[in-house]
Structure 1
Amino acid sequence: MDNQNNNSSDPPLGIIFDWDSTLIDNWCAIAHSLNLTLKKMGLQPWTYSEIRTQTKQSARDSFPDIFGSKWREALDFFYKAFESNHIQSLTPLPGAEELILNIKSHGMFMGIISNKNGTYLRKEISQLGWHRYFDRIIGASDAEKDKPAVETVVALLQGTNIKPGKEIWFVGDSVIDLQCAHLAGCLPILVKTGTITSDEILRWPPEKTFTSCLELNAEFQQLIHGYNQQDRELGHHPNRTIHRRK
């Protein structure tokens, strides 16, 4: 784990997570569906590596560049292919459920902002039984614009007492997540399970970097322990909740 510029010993007020490659792996379904679509539209299939590095934007933002004027036809075909296999290949990443359960136990606000279509995103979250952990879920097309636009964070926090700021962690694996965190004023947290490059990290630097959800969970628990220890030393009630959702 690498801490770059964050000197705070306090736990976050809330945590926003990316979905794919941050908490789960579903790239087999994405790659299969995209290559079927490329073939259908008369284009050459991409390698798995190309798909991982070139599909960070939402489909409504990336498909016009890939398919030109036929992007809506391609998008319809892609979603039909993806619908048929995305649940079967859904796999939680190591430590992901333990991490969100730990955060949930402390009553903190948790949300998801993903560039996966919101309908399929919510199906995947429900399939894992994780819908009960998250207060808000924003997928592609749920907000006026998709990540990295600030509108996604605004939509996620709308109606809560929580404002974007450094007390909100934005956890993701890609440059899109880091960029969104910076633009919204949240604390950018990188989990290096994706394909982010050194140049992208230099341009949009994370405050903390972890190799996995397991490592992030250990850091989170250490912050909670330190915060509670400080409370006890100051004479506060040792069992109070750190930050309650509002």
Structure 2
Amino acid sequence: MDTVVLPYPKVMLFDWHGTLVDTHGAMYAAIEEMLAQLDELDLTQHILPEESATTEDDEKLIRYIRIYRHLHPRVLAEQRISRTDVFEVLFGDNDVANAIAHKAYNDCYRNHYGCVKPFQEGMFEYLSYLKQLGIKIGVVTNRSREFLDPELEAVEDGRWLDLFDITLCGDEMIRYKPAPDSMPQAAEPLNENADKHLWYVGDSVTDMMTATRAGVTRIFYNGALWTPNWFEQVFAESAHHQYDPDIIVDDFDELLDLVMQSRSETIDTDLADQRPPRLPPRELNPPREEPDWHPAVVNLTYPRVVLFDWHATLVDTLDAMYHAVDDMLKDLKEMGLLEQLVDSATCKSPDDQRLVDYVRDNLSLHPKIKMDRKISRTDIFEILFADNEVAKKLAHKGFTDHYRKYFGTALPFEARVKDMLEGLRKLGLVVGVITNRDREFFIYELNTVDRGWAHLFDTEICGDDTVQRKPHTDQILKAAENLRTELGMDIWYVGDSTTDVIAAKSAGITSVFFNGAQWDQPWLNKIFPGTERYPYKPDVVVNDFSEFWALILSCRKNSMQK
């Protein structure tokens, strides 16, 4: 830490969460619950336009929440920004919107709060020593009194209760932080002024804005251990530069050093000896090790073209599909396909073996498969008939004949799929669909789902548009031909089946496996073993379209930095 001499503090006020204590789990759960209510709270209209964002990360956060109504997975994983900072990015200086957001957050927080612990080791001893130095200490937090008091009672079994000379909560402030009112409001009962002899210690941009506007000394507690580059981006290179902290401390040993440096008279020897012993420097937790296809670790080419599977990726037509597959399986003997079933001993996995044996014995799908609704009809036919193209063609035709009895209802697979598709187009990407569904069904579903999506796609290739369906590459080649583009890794194909992965990898484009069925990691390893016989593995696995959107934005950012 650089040697900086500040005015000696008569009062030291602290933010609560992320500075003195850790309540991350409850806080992020409550933010997520609150963001899901943006529409009913009528707050969507108050979200700032993306172009008003002061940093690239803020722009990403606004765009992400506008589409998905929850936090970016990386924000949730890192847990390094406060809810007040989130609201500041979303609503800026809109006091009305911020008040509604904070109230809604408090309502949600009631469902989650209770788990609280000191943010770093030795916190009680550090705070006690500040009081021994004659400094008045307090808490100024946007947290409501309803939550702060129980948390004060809970942290370290209540031994913090008598530490503070003042506590001021968000529901007692004239206005929530980053408005400056809280600083003089907290100083007045202590008979002190809100000037440079009042230090405000907080972990967020919002805290620095509050301190700057109030004219007090601003100390950034780097609880998240942000790098110098982060501070450069957030303060020096952005519209926040006027809110630069006076100094940044990584731990409370550095904070005590600052206090000692600012003290004009020599400290009493006995008091100096009572200073808490120095602790080892804080360190970030080691990063989680993810599989090489996890969105956090993959290095993908930013796409020019994004192609999607239809059923179980963009839309849900599962009921009709499973009814039609089951009806078709009852006809296996009449269609001459029963004897075409593969020898189960040649199957990729024991689960595939059980599927083949069950169909051979019962001419239907196992009830568990229909209950789980996790496997596509194309994958079912691939398991049953393997490389027998004639048998698979007959099976698809039989499915189509039965599907006419059931089709008609197609629902978005997730609530905001349409917003995601529109977002891709706003980024200037070409968007298309490749589906094994026959055109007579696809066109009807395309024009009826969510009031019609036909305007969202630049090309649509159906199962009966080419000689061979997925997992062959014919449909991908046809899409590239329609779009007059060359195949390459800047074309992404997003689909929910092993068939989609095989088609994409065989065509030499990027395979994005959409894990809408929420398969766990052992199962993913089982269906994508990467063996000589079954070599095809996706380039990345996303569990929902919020992860997919995060991946798109991350790849876009990386491409712009090259």
Q: Is residue 2:60 matched to residue 1:32?
A: no
Report how far residue 44 of structure 1 moved: 4.1
Q: Percent identity?
A: 21
Q: Which residue number corresponds to residue 56 of structure 1? A: 84
Compute the displacement of 1:158 (Å).
2.0
Q: CA deviation at 1:190?
A: 1.0
Contact 2:170 2:176 in 1 (8 A): yes
Matched AA of 1:138: L
1:2 touches 1:209 (CA, 8 Å); kept in 2?
Answer: no
Measured after TM superposition, the shift of residue 160 of structure 1 is 2.9
The structure in which a higher percent of residues are strand is: 1
Structure 2: distance between partners of 1:17 and 1:27: 17
Structure 1 pair 209/147, CA: closer, same or farther in 2 (3 Å)? same
Query: CA shift at 1:179, angstroms?
Result: 1.3
Spell out structure 1 runs of 4+ moving beyond 6 A: 61-65
How far did 1:193 drift? Answer: 1.4
The amino acid across from 1:93 in the alignment is: F
Q: Is the 8 A contact 2:30 2:111 kept in 1?
A: no
Q: How many residues end up aligned between the 2 structures? A: 224
| Kept in 2: contact 1:165–1:187 (CA 8 A) | yes
Bigger RCO (CA 8 Å, 6+ sep)? 1
Q: 1:61-76 alignment to 2 at 5 Å?
A: 75-76=103-104
2: CA distance between counterparts of 1:13 and 1:74?
A: 31
**Structural mapping, 1:34-183, within 5 Å:** 34-39=31-36, 44-47=69-72, 49-50=74-75, 52-53=80-81, 55-57=83-85, 75-76=103-104, 78-88=105-115, 90-94=116-120, 95-128=122-155, 129=158, 130-183=160-213
User: CA 1:123 to 1:44, structure 2 compared with 1: closer, same or farther past 3 Å?
Assistant: same
Query: Could you list the per-position Cα deviations for residues 167-205 of structure 1 after superposition, in whole angstroms to 9, with x for gaps in the alignment?
Result: 111111111111111111111111111467434333112
- Aligned to 1:132, the other structure's residue is in SS state coil
Q: Identify the residue that residue 265 of structure 2 maps to in structure 1.
A: 227
1:228-243 equivalences under 5 Å are 228-229=266-267
Does residue 206 (structure 1) correspond to residue 245 (structure 2)? The answer is yes
Q: What is the RMSD computed on CA atoms of the aligned residues?
A: 3.5
Report the structure number with the largest CA radius of gyration: 2
In the other structure, the counterpart of 2:320 is none
Match of 1:242 in 2: none
Show CA shifts across 1:78-132 (max 9, x none): 54542243212x1211132222111122232111111222321222123223231
CA contact (8 A) 2:106 2:144 kept: no
Q: Say if 1:119 and 1:139, in contact at 8 Å, map to a contact too.
A: no
Q: What is the deviation of 1:153? A: 1.0
Relative to 1, partners in 2 of residues 1:36 and 1:182: Cα closer, same or farther, differing over 3 Å? Answer: closer
| Contact 1:166-1:186 within 8 A present in 2 as well | yes
| The 10-residue stretch of structure 1 (16-25 or 121-130) with the greater mean CA deviation from structure 2 | 121-130
**Cα gap change, 1:162/1:214 in structure 2, threshold over 3 Å: closer, same or farther?**
same
The C-alpha deviation readout for 1:181-231, integer Å capped at 9, x for no partner, is: 11111111111114674343331122221112233234435656x7325x8
Mapped contact 2:18–2:82 kept (Cα < 8 A)? no
Task: After superposition, give the CA deviation of every residue in 1:128-161 in whole Å (9 maximum; x if it has no partner).
Answer: 2323111111111211101121211121122332
Q: Give the match's secondary structure for 1:200.
A: helix
SS at match of 2:206: helix
TM-score (norm 1): 0.74
How big is the shift at 1:13?
Answer: 1.0
Partner of 2:504: none
Matching residue of 1:23: 20
